[in-house]
Amino acid sequence: MASVEIKEDLYWVGAVDWEIRDFHGYSTKKGTTYNAFLAMDEKVALFDTVKKPFRSDLLHNIRGVTDPAKIDYLIINHVEMDHSGCLPEVIELVKPEKIFCSAMGKKAMLDHFHREDWPYEVVKSGDTIHLGKRSVQFLETRMLHWPDNMFSYIPEDRLLISSDAFGQHWATSERFDDEVDGSELFMHAAKYYANILLLYSALIQKLLKNVQEMGIALDMIAPDHGLIWRSQPQKILEAYGHWSRQETKPKALIIYDTMWRSTETMAKAILDGLVQEGISCQLLDLEGTHRSDIMTEALDAKALIFGSATLNNGMLPRMADMLNYMRGLRPANRIGAVFGSYGWSGEAVKQMNAVLEEAKFRIVGPGISVRYVPTHEDLRKCVDLGREIGKAVRETE
């Protein structure tokens, strides 16, 4: 993909990764982008680089605008390797006067690349540098989602270069939000939030408050992944407000893994009870549904119900994986319940309950365990559990 001018004398010079299908456990069915930005001014500044295999794409795009050797400053908003993987090669070519980064960014670069001789220039929130006709203001955003993250704001262009915030994993030939289908765009944005940033929701609340208090005027938000928000930057800010407050709908997910379909039969009976209470719900079989897609649906679901058969005195492996993944992302203010079938021991239900207790879910019932194949009476109990969960959901909405 060729460079694209996003503002006068400001260019997207990143790379599109059409083939990636997994991003450390997050399914990227439609690829991603590694966005980098070039500001042409009295001082030429490059904001971030790209993943190492895409170094040639970056340099080709820069050369479409200027000679890379004319770059004066590197501004490193985030040191994760999808944004800094080719940094040593770029520095060798560019020989920048200064590399601007946060204090934790400098530490991360030293830990990654072990180069004490690079021209680091540490900045903090509120610091400003001048490129010529435009300036760059910095805002540290620690743990969104690494300790080194920061934003770069260009007030003259009302442009926020937002590192990993407000991004999406989505490879497209288009560069802007108004060039693609809006519903699909927000689906990718929600998936990104649910699987990367949900854990840091309290920090995002503080960040959004700080941005408002600072009176930062925005025409455009340029994240390090996905589409650039030029037509509706306020809309993604509002969405982050809802998601970071962990606002939910009267919606339930029944997430299960089954061995000989007994647990699946129980899941359908629980769904019947939820429907009787007017709750929107989905059956999500772990055999065919990726953990990251489940977390996307869980972003606005009030109730999460987990079912697993017992195998070797424990949960089925996919359920153990799902619960471990979810626990790390820390969804809050959720209602939970568990169920499952077993042959001769039945530990899965107890183990699933323990995870929900640790995650501070409001747990409905002790869980339902059925030996081998559920009877009509067993399924009636499952329907009753679904109704009980549904009533609990309606009480909270």
What is the spatial distance between Cα 397 and Cα 391, in angstroms, rounded to a whole number?
Answer: 10
What is the spatial distance between Cα 329 and Cα 300, in angstroms, rounded to a whole number?
Answer: 14
Residue with tokens 């934003």: 151
Question: What pLDDT, on a 0 to 100 scale, did the predictor assign at position 250?
Answer: 97
What is the spatial distance between Cα 100 and Cα 120, in angstroms, rounded to a whole number?
Answer: 6
Residues of the chain with pLDDT under 50: none
Cα 26-293-393 angle, rounded to 5 deg: 135
Pick the CATH number of 4-244 from 3.60.15.10, 3.30.2130.10, 3.40.50.150, 3.30.70.141: 3.60.15.10
Q: Is 46 helix (H, G, I), strand (E, B) or coil?
A: strand
What's the Cα-to-Cα distance from 189 to each of 162, 227, 229, 230, rounded to whole Å? 14, 10, 11, 15
Cβ neighbours of residue 183 under 8 Å, at least 6 residues apart?
none
- What is the number of other CB atoms lying within 10 angstroms of the CB of residue 70? 12
**Residue 145, preceding bond cis, omega within 30 degrees?**
yes
- What CATH topology corresponds to 252-396? Rossmann fold (3.40.50)
Q: What is the mean pLDDT of the chain?
A: 96
What's the Cα-to-Cα distance from 250 to each of 62, 271, 291, 393, rounded to whole Å? 49, 14, 21, 6
What is the spatial distance between Cα 78 and Cα 152, in angstroms, rounded to a whole number?
Answer: 11
List residues with catalytic annotation: 24, 78, 80, 82, 145, 164, 192, 225
4-244 and 252-396 agree in CATH topology: no
Cβ neighbours of residue 328 under 8 Å, at least 6 residues apart?
199
Instruction: Please provide residue 137's backbone torsions phi and psi, each rounded to the nearest 5 degrees.
Output: -105, 145
* Domains in the chain: boundaries: 4-244, 252-396
What is the spatial distance between Cα 94 and Cα 43, in angstroms, rounded to a whole number?
Answer: 13
Q: Is-above-0.75 flag for pTM?
A: yes
- What is the number of other CB atoms lying within 10 angstroms of the CB of residue 240? 20
